[in-house]
Amino acid sequence: MTYLDNAATSFPKPEGVYVAMDRFARHSLANPGRSGHKMALESEHALADARHRLNRFFNGPNPDRWAFTLNCTDALNMAFKGALNDGDHVITSSLEHNSVSRPLVALAAAGRITLTRVPADAGGTIDPEAVRAAIGPKTRLIAVTHASNVLGTVQPIGEVGRIAREHDLLFLVDAAQTAGVLSINVQTAGIDLLAFPGHKSLLGPTGTGALYVGPRVTLRPWREGGTGGDSLTPTQPTDFPHHLEGGTPNVLGVVGLVAGLDFVEERGVEAIHRHEIELCARLRNALAELPGFEVFGHADASRRVGALSFRCAALPAPELAGVLDQSFDIAVRPGLHCAPYIHTALGTAPDGLLRVSPGPFNTRADIDHLIDALTQITGGV
């Protein structure tokens, strides 16, 4: 299989991820914080080490402000439902994944918040001044994706973060498509809440993610339960990260996440990003020479991540992806990509687009195989 669906989840994982998880599962997988024996302490140390690693990687102020989650969706729900109060106003964008949109729309539909959605321009970028113009007296939170999972376009989070701080607002960034391929500094970007998965560009396993909660934020707990410490407290402890981590954490997954982070840091974020962008540019240039293809999103490589979406006049995206899978062993992602608002704006609903997203292990030969397959398919229609 030629796997080109890394924006959904990265595959394969670095060999070190498989090795680390296998070793830990066989020798150290106890319940952290629940017992005093050596295996439990090893599990607790693994979590503490992971928090330190994430804090250093994203330049956080304190390792304890990193709470482990099931995925990015879980982290976003923690943030929205923990930070927002009745009557608050939230600003978001037309680029958002349903992991951002659905919790906010549900809160708005229930009459608990009001919501403004700032549109992206034709190239797939939001204007920070449009965000500023949307701020009102009840605005509490600005929530935007760092990069569109449909168009691959990177958003100006530094400028939006400055606007949020100027107005004393909370700023949330969904880094599902950027954590591991773009440098993110939560302090200089003014980020109060950073949500990201472990299974995409950080190259860890599924079922992992984290939420950074900055010192300006007070959150109600998303889930309540055992933490292994402070068992006498009748309600969830207020100290971080236990405030947000009720129940047994996915220690095995976190060990795999750290092993993925090892690879990312060794290879280098900029080098991985450059490699993926070059592969997307190779595909984009080839599609420009093929009749009947339309590529979406601006072409400026410095403002993109490695995701390229297009449509074919000959076949709708779901059918084209099916042929690529069944006849050429190529894995891509068709459809609406859980981001209906941007597809509506682009006029690409309901069939959506076909998205190609290379990862660090893909090669030029993989892209050439895809180009050859597309040539054969469209030439035969």
Please report, for the chain, the start and end positions of each structural domain, with discontinuous segments joined by +: 2-10+268-379, 15-266
pLDDT surpassing 90 at residue 161:
yes
Alpha helices in the chain (DSSP H): 15-27, 38-57, 72-83, 98-109, 128-134, 157-166, 251-267, 269-289, 317-328, 340-346, 364-379
Indicate which residues carry an active-site annotation. 338
Report the percent of the chain where pLDDT is more than 90. Answer: 90
Residue in the block written with tokens 């420009």: 288
The residue-averaged pLDDT of 326-347 equals: 97
pTM of the predicted structure, to 2 decimals: 0.96
Mean confidence (pLDDT) of the chain:
96
Backbone torsions φ then ψ of 182, nearest 5 degrees: -130, 145
The residue-averaged pLDDT of 330-337 equals: 97
In the DSSP assignment, the letter for residue 65 is: G
279, 3 contact by CB (below 8 A): no
CATH tag for 15-266 (out of 3.30.360.10, 1.10.10.10, 2.30.130.10, 3.40.640.10): 3.40.640.10
The residue-averaged pLDDT of 341-359 equals: 97
pLDDT score of 381: 47
DSSP per-residue letters across 145-161? ESB-TTT-BBP-HHHHH
Class of domain 2-10+268-379: alpha beta
Count CB atoms within 10 A of the CB of residue 285: 12
Instruction: Indicate the pairing of strand 88-93 with strand 333-335.
Output: unpaired
pLDDT surpassing 50 at residue 221:
yes
Residue 88 one-letter amino acid: D
pLDDT surpassing 90 at residue 291:
yes
Q: How far apart are CA 370 and CA 339, in angstroms?
A: 25
pLDDT surpassing 80 at residue 225:
yes
- pLDDT tens digit sequence for 81-114: 999 999 999 999 999 999 999 999 999 999 999 9
pLDDT score of 134: 98
- pLDDT tens digit sequence for 144-160: 999 999 999 999 999 99
Q: How far apart are CA 25 and CA 6, in angstroms?
A: 26
DSSP per-residue letters across 260-301? HHHHHHHH-HHHHHHHHHHHHHHHHHHHHHSTTEEEES---G
